[in-house]
Amino acid sequence: MDEPGGGEADIVERPPGIMTMSNMLVGQLDYVYFFYGLALLLLGAVCLSMPRAGPLPTPWWLLGAFAITHGSAEWLRLVALTGGDSGPFSFFRTVLVGASFLFLLEFARRTHRVVHGTTVSPWLHVLLGGVLSGLALAFGPAHIESAVRPVIAAPAVFWTAGLFLTAAARNQALGGGSGSRRARQWGAASFGAFGLAAGLVVPQAPFLPGTWLSSEAFLELTGVPIELVRGLLVWGMALSIWALAVSLDSRGSVSRKRRMLFWVMAASLVVLLAGGWLFTDRLGKLHEKDILQDAESSSVLVHEHLLDEMRGAEGGARAMAKLLGRLDVAEGALVTTRLDDIVDSIALASDGWVAYVIDPTGRTISTSNRGQPDSFLGKNFSVRPYFKEAVRGRPDRFLGVGLVSGIAGYYASEPVRGADGRVVAVAVVKCNLTAEQLGPAGTNDASIVSAEGRILVSSVEGRVNRLLWSAGNGRGSRTPPPGVAPGAAPAVLGHPVVGTEWVSVDGRKEIAVGKPIPGSDWSLVVLKREKAQVANRLLGIVITLLLCAVVLTYFVAMQRQYGAEAHIAGKRREAEGRAREFERKADSDALTGLLNRLGFNGAFSREFERSRRYGHPLSVVILDLDHFKRVNDEHGHVAGDQVLVGVARLIETGTRESDLLARWGGEEFVVVAAMTPEKGALQLAEKLRVRLAATPLGPAGAVTGSFGVAELRPGESSEGLLDRADAALYRAKNGGRNRVECAEAGADAAAPAAKA
């Protein structure tokens, strides 16, 4: 039996400020998942754009793999939140989360060697995987994520934070320049805080202590979803590594460009995300008033239908008391057959009614469900409040669970008085509360809930006796209160519902409307899923994602370009050093930083002899810019110099470090590709031709070039190889320019035509 009393206090004592913040963020949970996933995507993009070589080759690609895999899992949570979840889909997300932290663990293991110079055995993965498998077997796959985070995530993240801190303390250039100590300290702090948020704040699980700070408890304590905190920390991690990339170039225009890109991109993403949050929220609230009114109307219909059923039971009890009073017999002399006729006639008035008569001692002397297994006949109900009040001469109304049937119901009792005015019997009508009594309101999720949060009646199959919320184990706790089996399913909601609010139900956003049932501490709760708002918010998230994708794509492209410029700048500085060191030889071109004709002759001679000695293939590609005189005539020599420098940069970034590059003449360039046959040289020339035609080079815009390709033949001299490549070049120019021609096999080079 469920006695009334005490439930109201559990509801009204909730701190309104925290609940307002919590409810607001629950309504924005889809954007929180999007924000978290985007932060991880940015981290991945930054890591994958970091250089992989150098004196300290940090395996940034592993950290990038962690970020992209984990970000994919968070966006899949967004899909589950908006489109519905399932067991296999949830398990797949958990597998992605586990795989992501394994990438991070391997990043920490390999970086440990970079920082400390010692190696940690890869058997560490097997050890931690064994612990994780043991927990999964002991407590079931439903708690795998709760095991992954403290067993694998926490060690991996804290290990990484320690490596950043050690590199900062020793002033080691971990992925950045020597002046990047502050960036490494920033990274250590971000990773350490992320380790606390992602590795130790986890969903509740039976293998964790009861005092462990779970993600549910964190939400109740702070009013902020833990995913939002994790997302902010990942942004800090991404920016710290980005700062390391900026510090790679400590001088020159590339360094200034990198720093400017850093701040502009950071500010742009902040503005985009803030604007996207407001835009998404605005789209979601376009029809919120109508949505909430519709939910309220549905709950009112259900509530009124339930009250009509109760009022009907009250009328039935009064009618039965009047009929019994007309028998005009002395106490204890009521005729059983006539009583049976009366209770049967009352019970027939509505489905789900049970009518019965109780004598003054509390024993049932007639009931409409006689002969049934759960018959009330002969049962004593003297302890029931509705009997105690009626036997004192006062009608009573009561909500409770049946002592005999175990079915929740509404009880209406009326005293039956004899001729002398004394109470000779109590007439009772019980209206069994079933899913049908919740009314034809068009809703598929309505429940009658006790003060403790237990669902007594529900229109959703399988939800009866489950906790809708837990009011007996701390506010918002989803664990069963005292008296409820520990193995029972967790509560559907994290807190009692009063009024109208957005809630999360099994990972979905729904509107909850809670209304008290008069005369009891029970309440009627109607949950309504609103798909229109979800679709509107998803549209806002997609638009924000597309804009952020444009920004991130631009960032990656600029990072690569600045990397190429830094490489060219380094090569140019090397060339300038060579020019100063070998000033008399003057083997470097002062404008482009490439070898000049003199420097090329010596380097080519060595490469030629090496190819002849070992029998390796050797190919030559000669490039001549088309109509270069027009560039100087129309745009000036400064623009012409910019074109030449741009072409040199394009060739350097499009060839291997082992290739020999030189400025052959005024607007001619030559590439000597060692270990490369004619087919590979043709592919190289075609790639350079396409890139040249598509790349603007200063005020003159894009220019085109003609290419001649030749491969060294057995017994051929170096001059013969160059002559054949030069002849092929002029065939390309005479054939229409902006094309690649290969030297004719087995034929001597024709005399080149006059330059156009």
Are 321 and 364 in a shared domain? Answer: yes
Task: Kindly report, residue by residue over 133-144, the tens digit of the pLDDT.
Answer: 787 777 777 778
pLDDT at 444: 61
DSSP string, 27-85: HTHHHHHHHHHHHHHHHHHHHHTS---SSS---HHHHHHHHHHHHHHHHHHHHHHHH--
Are 222 and 83 in a shared domain? Answer: yes
Are 415 and 512 in a shared domain? Answer: no
Are 343 and 485 in a shared domain? Answer: no
pLDDT at 35: 86
In a domain, 750, yes or no: no
Burial class (CB in 10 A: 0-12, 13-18, 19+), 670: buried
pLDDT at 10: 29
SS3 248: coil
DSSP string, 557-605: HHHHHHHHHHHHHHHHHHHHHHHHHTTTT--B-TTTSSB-HHHHHHHHH
Token code pair at residue 754: 């006059």
Are 194 and 215 in a shared domain? Answer: yes
Give me the CATH number covering residue 334.
3.30.450.20
Helix (H) and strand (E) counts for the chain?
21, 15
Give the span between the Cα atoms of 448 and 465, in whole angstroms: 10
Pick the last residue of a domain from 375, 409, 436: 436
CA-based R_g, the chain, Å:
40
In a domain, 756, yes or no: no
In a domain, 422, yes or no: yes
Q: 740-742 and 705-711: which strand pairing? A: parallel
**Per-state percent for the chain, helix, strand, coil, to nearest 5:** 55, 15, 30
Give me the CATH number covering residue 692.
3.30.70.270
Q: What range does the domain containing 569 cover?
A: 256-284+534-581
Cα 615 to its chain centre, rounded Å, is 56
DSSP letter, residue 329: -
Which parts of 200-287 fold into alpha helices (H)? 215-222, 226-246, 252-284
Give the span between the Cα atoms of 70 and 58, in whole angstroms: 20
User: Taking Cα atoms as reference points, which of 221, 28, 207 lies closest to residue 132?
Assistant: 207
Give the span between the Cα atoms of 105 and 69, in whole angstroms: 14
pLDDT at 440: 58
Are 603 and 737 in a shared domain? Answer: yes
Pick the last residue of a domain from 581, 599, 618: 581
Q: E strands within 438-505?
A: 446-449, 455-458, 499-505
pLDDT at 326: 78
User: Taking Cα atoms as reference points, which of 109, 42, 40 lies closest to residue 69?
Assistant: 40
Are 103 and 207 in a shared domain? Answer: yes
pLDDT at 661: 93
Give the span between the Cα atoms of 589 and 664, in whole angstroms: 10
In a domain, 140, yes or no: yes
- Cα separations in angstroms, 455 against 399, 463, 493, 520: 14, 7, 12, 15
Token code pair at residue 725: 């490549």
Residue 753: phi and psi, rounded to 5, are: -70, 165
In a domain, 346, yes or no: yes
Are 569 and 627 in a shared domain? Answer: no
User: Taking Cα atoms as reference points, which of 670, 570, 557 lies closest to residue 622?
Assistant: 670
Are 31 and 176 in a shared domain? Answer: yes
pLDDT at 597: 86
Count the neighbouring beta carbons within 10 Å of the beta carbon of residue 392. Answer: 10
Residue given tokens 């080149």 in the structure block: 752
Token code pair at residue 681: 């040289």
Pick the last residue of a domain from 390, 407, 436: 436
Are 524 and 543 in a shared domain? Answer: no
Are 238 and 268 in a shared domain? Answer: no
Question: What residues in the chain have per-residue pLDDT under 50?
Answer: 1-19, 53-56, 329-333, 441, 472-487, 584, 746-756
In a domain, 13, yes or no: no
pLDDT at 648: 93
In a domain, 293, yes or no: no
Specify whether the CB–CB gap between 479 and 467 falls below 8 A.
no
Are 183 and 117 in a shared domain? Answer: yes
Specify whether the CB–CB gap between 412 and 310 falls below 8 A.
yes
Give me the CATH number covering residue 488.
3.30.450
Give the span between the Cα atoms of 754 and 756, in whole angstroms: 6
Give the span between the Cα atoms of 136 and 153, in whole angstroms: 16
Count the neighbouring beta carbons within 10 Å of the beta carbon of residue 180. Answer: 26
> How many domains, in total, are found in the chain?
5
Token code pair at residue 626: 């088309």
In a domain, 159, yes or no: yes
Count the neighbouring beta carbons within 10 Å of the beta carbon of residue 317. Answer: 28
Q: 705-711 and 618-625: which strand pairing? A: antiparallel
